[in-house]
Chain A
Amino acid sequence: MAGGPSLMDSLFQRSLEDLIKGLRLHNLAAGTAAGTPESSTFLSKSIDEVRREIKSTDQQTKTTALQKLTYLHSLYAIDMSWAAFHAIELSSSTIFNSKRTGYLAASISFNSSTDVILLLTHQLRKDLNSGNPHEVSLALQTLSSICTPDLARDLTPELFTLLNSNKGFIKKKAIATVLRVFELYPDSVRVCFKRLVENLENADVGIVSAIVGVFCELANKEPRSYLPLAPEFYRILVDSRNNWVLIKVLKIFAKLVPLEPRLGKRVVEPICEHLRRTGAKSLAFECIRTIVCSLTQHELAVKLAAEKIREFLTEDDPNLKYLGLQALAAIAPKSLNAVVENKEVVIKSLSDEDVNIKFEALRLVMAMVSEDNVAEICRVLINYALKSDPEFCNEILGSILSTCSRNYYETIVDFDWYVSLLGEMARVPHCQKGEEIENQLVDIGMRVRDVRPEVVHVGRDLLIDPALLGNPFIHRILSAAAWVSGEYVEFCKNPFELMEALLQPRTNLLPPSVRAVYIQSAFKVLTFAAYFYFYPEEALAASISGVGESVHNGWCEQSSDSVSGQTVTFSEPDEGFNPRMLHQPQKDASGNDGKKMISDLEQVSSCSVKMGHFTKDCLVGMVNLVESTLRPMAGSHEVEIQDRVKNVLGLIELIRQEIHGCLVPKEEENDRGELKACEIVRVMHDAFSEELGPVSLSAQGRVPLPDGLELKENLSDLEAICGDFRIPVLSSFSLEKPRSLEKDVVTVSDQQNEEECEPSSESTSLLTEHRKRHGIYYLPSEKKEKVPNDYPPANDLSMQDKVNDEVDYLVKLTEKSLVPKKKPIAKPRPVVVKLDDGDRIHINETLPELKEDLISDAVQEVLLGSQAVASSSRTDKSDKSSNRRSRKETFRPLESNADSTTVEIAELGNKNSRRIKHRTHGKERSHRSSKKATGESDRSDRPNSSHPHGKHKSRQRADGMENVAAESPVIPDFLL
């Protein structure tokens, strides 16, 4: 009895309900923690059952088994790819329930890698042709979710038939499925597209809704192809009262309007009308979005949209508030007023409980930032940052940093303020933006000369605070602070204090890389101190004769002219340790900023008290301090630290010698060796006072290619050459050889290396032989010395100045002309060093080539070309339409009269063809026949009849053809 097991199965099979109950029971009974093992055994037992049952010949049993498996797959992610064939088998069942289950399983579990999917083709075709609409609907649903290119190709004819189905709900599903088929098999567009377009005029709202949905998706990908359909969409926009449809049509227009400005004029009025009329928030929001994204030239519309946005913002519903903020963000770049008007709501939203709203508000606040209000806004934001949770706090800090640094800090006028803000940010408790702040501190230090004193001041404040060292998030900031303090030490008010800060014991909390920066800065400070101790006169002389320090002093004088107070001169260096600072009060007296002067006076006076005593003792003190702190670190395991400590210690040795030398009366008795030590200190100081500038991203590209260096040629030979090497290496076992050969491979063949590794005579001969054979890969030895001199040093200031002269000049010019207009600012914006466009990344400039979409290709062909195929005058039309397409590209900007008239004629012809087409293909639209009977002329005016402007225009067109043509030379028939 073959049916025996099947009978048993079907009688005692666990039903779906049993399975679910069982699963729930096991989950619940076993509790939460231990639940997994027991429920998983139950699960695997169930799957085994399913595996057995699904092979049953009884349809009912099989169906239940597959249903259970589908359940497990969709909710427990159990693999069911092995059951693909059973799903196909069931889908061919005559019992509707089995079919439905089979199709459901297929639509849920099949994907493009399911190999048996092709077996489904036949069944799908059969069901698509079925007389039972529910079977058709099932097949369509399944096809829409599992469609593959093969299925799409094979079933396109059936779909085409279904697009004309007389059952509304089948037609709708077919339309939606077409979208998938188009994507996977673009050729199907040629078959189905026309029928799709015809359905736009269907009276059934549901069908229009489906079709508009399809076009909305298609237009999303490549809007240009659908411009010719604009009149149809316009009609729907004006006539339809269905919100679902309207939303989709608005989305389509949002895509089309930017492509065709004249379209904007047409649709703006109906859109505003909808916005005023509608009570549905979804439609209202879509209208607003369309206006703020695509219709920003129409001021009235924007104004209306802004009004509606305000309504959204004042609602209690967080959804509307969020969307309102989003719309504001979209409108911000075009009409900042709308944002500023709602400033209060926006700022208030910063403390909303909803994270989304907060973020959106933050984005908006940043959009409002301008030169005038940046300080105020940042103040407010920092206060919020102090109050809010770590995540949002960092979001705030991050957006302040990115907004302020945008386009070389273009919004910042008062850099002193900004630098102190950066310092303040470091002290915000949750700050994790160390890296960005570090970059900006250093960057501003390098780019903006006038702000350096303030940078150093901020750096000092950060460095002397021992509490900050404990926070690993701001170590990077400290690193920047240490770097600027060392680099611009000449602005430092008190080098001792700085030195102490740099060497304080808690610096051992810093990571080695940052510590290395600290030590390097200490090195610079020490060099500076020694220099000014040894060479007060030298410094003076240098400033006069302009040797060595000429660059340095040059700009110092310049800056003393432009910025009152912040001066550096060397007229009386004997007065104290840091003559530049001592001079400040005198200069300040002439300045306007009285308050600042007083504070400076105080600082300097306290400084000068110290400086008064500063002679040898102070330097010795400093040297001792440095030595006692750094000496133990000379044995550090970190190479960076060890290296730098050794440098400092070396310098200390030098200074020591010199100090002892100074015990001897100063000027005449100087020993030669001591002089040398002084000399070295001076050279080092000069080296450090050489300015570091920002490096352009394209700097590498500007390095000229040295003559005779051929990088690209003959690289393929390299393998052969390497092969040459391997043979000798294998045959001989000398130790030196591999080493020298290795060097040869990387073509480091200079003499030093050869001396260093002292190759055996054997390998030398190999080498010379090799050089003979492959001379091209060796750098010519005599040229080697010259080549480096050809490279412009990356930081060479004079070179950079040359490059930047023009830019800087322009920057200065524009600033001078712009600043007074805004408001009388006490201090002009300091010059920000910008390199030429090389600083910007070039990638953005070359737009990616517009990829020709296969679908849009086909669509254009259908819309523009094959209309002609349908009509009687075939060749003529297709010619003209292609003609027009080319015209569209070439003559648009010219608008020459002669051309436009011919175009107009071509279009008229096209219009006729469309009319003809409508007649021939309008079979199913029996309701239209009465209209048709009323006459051709009515039909030609059809799109206009719904719209008064359109009517006017059509009359105009009838009166004077050229007139209209000149006005709209390209695609007047697309519009109304």
Chain B
Amino acid sequence: MIHFVLLISRQGKVRLTKWYSPYPQKERTKVIRELSGLILTRGPKLCNFVEWRGFKVVYRRYASLYFCMCINQDDNELEILEIIHHYVEILDRYFGSVCELDLIFNFHKAYYILDELLIAGELQESSKKTVARHIAAQDSLVETAKEQASSLSNIIAEATK
């Protein structure tokens, strides 16, 4: 299973963290520091796997972002690479040629998409289309709710009650 997912920028800034195994907060910060030291220093032509604390961290760089996933020793590294790519493709489709800024300003959406893709550290949905459909459906739910909530009359009604 996947123990955690990290998105780290080339400058070492964390863009997203998702923990599927329990790590206390202190440990999390330590892990992030250790791994960014380990991964960001690796050259471009090396393999995408790092052995770390008896686990394996599979990472892949897209533009300025490193997508990292930590797995057990006997898990399939290539499969994880595919999952990463899968995630990136879905993000790309959702945001329309995604860039780091999209993820910065829509961090919650990145989470929602990841949640559709992975649950409990397991791949949940291998179809890009299905994920996109679910996210779109949820967004439309949000939009209708927002419209109701944000209409001025509503605010006034709320304020004066």
CB-CB < 8 A to A285: which residues of B? 76-78
Give A77 to B77 CA distance when docked, in angstroms: 29
Give A177 to B115 CA distance when docked, in angstroms: 12
Give A177 to B125 CA distance when docked, in angstroms: 14
Interface string of B12-41 (1 = CB under 8 A from A): 011111111010110011000000000000
Q: Kindly specify which of A67-75, A427-435, A929-937, A964-972 makes contact with the partner chain.
A: A67-75
Interface string of A344-357 (1 = CB under 8 A from B): 00000000011111
Contact assessment for A282 and B150 in the assembled complex, using a CB-CB cutoff below 8 Å:
no
A321 CB to nearest B CB, Å: 7
Given A97-B146, A104-B108, A173-B119, verify A321-B25 contact (CB < 8 Å).
no
B99 at the interface (CB under 8 A from A): no
B155 at the interface (CB under 8 A from A): yes
A319 at the interface (CB under 8 A from B): yes
A221 CB to nearest B CB, Å: 11
A144 at the interface (CB under 8 A from B): yes
B159 at the interface (CB under 8 A from A): yes
8 Å CB contact of B159 from A3, A112, A141, A251? A3
Give A357 to B45 CA distance when docked, in angstroms: 12
B30 CB to nearest A CB, Å: 11
A57 CB to nearest B CB, Å: 9
CB-CB < 8 A to B149: which residues of A? 59-60, 95
Contact assessment for B138 and A319 in the assembled complex, using a CB-CB cutoff below 8 Å:
no
Contact assessment for B123 and A209 in the assembled complex, using a CB-CB cutoff below 8 Å:
yes
Give A504 to B65 CA distance when docked, in angstroms: 59
A96 at the interface (CB under 8 A from B): yes
A10 at the interface (CB under 8 A from B): yes
A180 at the interface (CB under 8 A from B): yes
Interface string of A86-105 (1 = CB under 8 A from B): 00000000011100110010
Give A6 to B161 CA distance when docked, in angstroms: 12
Q: Kindly specify which of A210-218, A532-540, A559-567, A587-595 makes contact with the partner chain.
A: A210-218
Contact assessment for A3 and B161 in the assembled complex, using a CB-CB cutoff below 8 Å:
yes
8 Å CB contact of B160 from A3, A137, A353? A3
A295 CB to nearest B CB, Å: 15
A434 CB to nearest B CB, Å: 26
Given A77-B28, A97-B142, A282-B78, verify A214-B47 contact (CB < 8 Å).
no
Helix, strand, loop or mixed for chain A's interface? helix
B149 CB to nearest A CB, Å: 5
Interface string of A1-43 (1 = CB under 8 A from B): 1011011001100001100100010000000000000000000
Closest to A59 in B: B149
CB-CB < 8 A to B78: which residues of A? 281-282, 285, 319, 323
Closest to B145 in A: A95
CB-CB < 8 A to B161: which residues of A? 3
Give A473 to B5 CA distance when docked, in angstroms: 41
B55 at the interface (CB under 8 A from A): no
| CB-CB contacts below 8 Å: A152-201 with B | 169, 172-173, 176-177, 179-180
Give A137 to B133 CA distance when docked, in angstroms: 14
8 Å CB contact of A6 from B45, B48, B125, B159? B159
B107 at the interface (CB under 8 A from A): yes
8 Å CB contact of B127 from A95, A145, A206? A206
8 Å CB contact of A356 from B14, B47, B72, B160? B47
Interface string of A248-273 (1 = CB under 8 A from B): 00010010000000000000000000
8 Å CB contact of B46 from A4, A108, A210, A353? A353
Given A104-B112, A112-B22, A282-B78, verify A145-B120 contact (CB < 8 Å).
yes
CB-CB < 8 A to B130: which residues of A? 169, 206
CB-CB < 8 A to B24: which residues of A? 111
8 Å CB contact of A209 from B17, B48, B126? B126
Interface string of B107-127 (1 = CB under 8 A from A): 110011001000110111111
8 Å CB contact of A217 from B115, B122, B159? B122
Contact assessment for B124 and A176 in the assembled complex, using a CB-CB cutoff below 8 Å:
yes
8 Å CB contact of A247 from B79, B108, B115? B79
Give A437 to B50 CA distance when docked, in angstroms: 30
Given A3-B160, A20-B104, A134-B137, verify A145-B20 contact (CB < 8 Å).
yes
8 Å CB contact of A179 from B122, B158, B159? B122
Contact assessment for B125 and A169 in the assembled complex, using a CB-CB cutoff below 8 Å:
yes
The contact sample of 8 A-B pairs, CB cut-off 8 A, is A3-B159, A59-B149, A145-B120, A179-B120, A210-B124, A286-B79, A322-B47, A357-B47
Q: Which 7 A-B pairs have the closest CB atoms?
A: A282-B78, A318-B47, A176-B119, A7-B159, A354-B46, A97-B142, A213-B122
Q: Which residues of B contact A (CB under 8 A)?
A: 1, 13-20, 22, 24-25, 28-29, 43, 45-51, 72, 74, 76-79, 81-82, 104-105, 107-108, 111-112, 115, 119-120, 122-127, 130, 134, 137-138, 141-142, 145-146, 149-150, 155, 158-161
